[in-house]
Amino acid sequence: MELWNFENIVTRSESSNLILTTHRIRYQYRKKITSLMLDQISGIEVGYKSKPFYLLIAILCGGAGGIAAMGQYADASIPLFFVALLTLVIYLNSRKHSITVSSASTKIIFFTSGINQEGIRHIVNQIEHTRAKLIKAL
């Protein structure tokens, strides 16, 4: 990342794919680069990204297994419950904790694997504090 002559790095992630400067936040993953000017940020969200398709399959298979267990297809209930349990585990493993920084035109989604709750709060606070300082200076 090339810094402007009036810009300084505030912080960067351990992997250096997320960099917060005094004027912008930049995220680079593989060949994709997303950069937001701090004065254009409209919101920050901490949450989870998941694949609810797996949860839907787990619910459907669990329900079908329950119906099968009560009826004449009791032998089919065990494989259905197994598939339900397996897809539930896959769903839970697909959930990724993330920070989303949004502007009117784009957003940065940064996955926070290996960062505890305090570290996540610290990142959000740094972005908000740096943005507030920039807005105050303008």
Q: Is 38 exposed, middle or buried (0-12, 13-18, 19+ CB in 10 A)?
A: buried
Residues 3 and 9: beta-carbon distance below 8 Å: yes
Beta bridge partners, 111, equal 98
What is the chain's Cα-based Rg?
22
What is the model's pLDDT at position 23? 92
State the Cα–Cα distance between residues 6 and 25, nearest whole angstrom.
15
State the Cα–Cα distance between residues 18 and 32, nearest whole angstrom.
12
Share of the chain above pLDDT 90, in %: 41
What is the model's pLDDT at position 42? 92
Q: For 107-116, what is the mean pLDDT?
A: 83
What is the model's pLDDT at position 117? 83
- And the tokens for 120? 């996540």
Give the pLDDT confidence of 28-86 residue by residue, as tens digits. Answer: 888 889 999 999 999 999 988 888 999 999 999 999 999 988 888 888 889 999 999 99
Q: What's the pLDDT band for 15 if we cut at 50, 70, 90? A: confident
What is the model's pLDDT at position 89? 94
Q: Is 130 exposed, middle or buried (0-12, 13-18, 19+ CB in 10 A)?
A: buried
Q: For 114-130, what is the mean pLDDT?
A: 87
To the nearest whole number, what is the mean pLDDT of the chain? 88
Q: Is residue 6 pLDDT above 90, yes or no?
A: no
From the list 118, 109, 83, the residue with the least C-alpha distance to 18 is 109
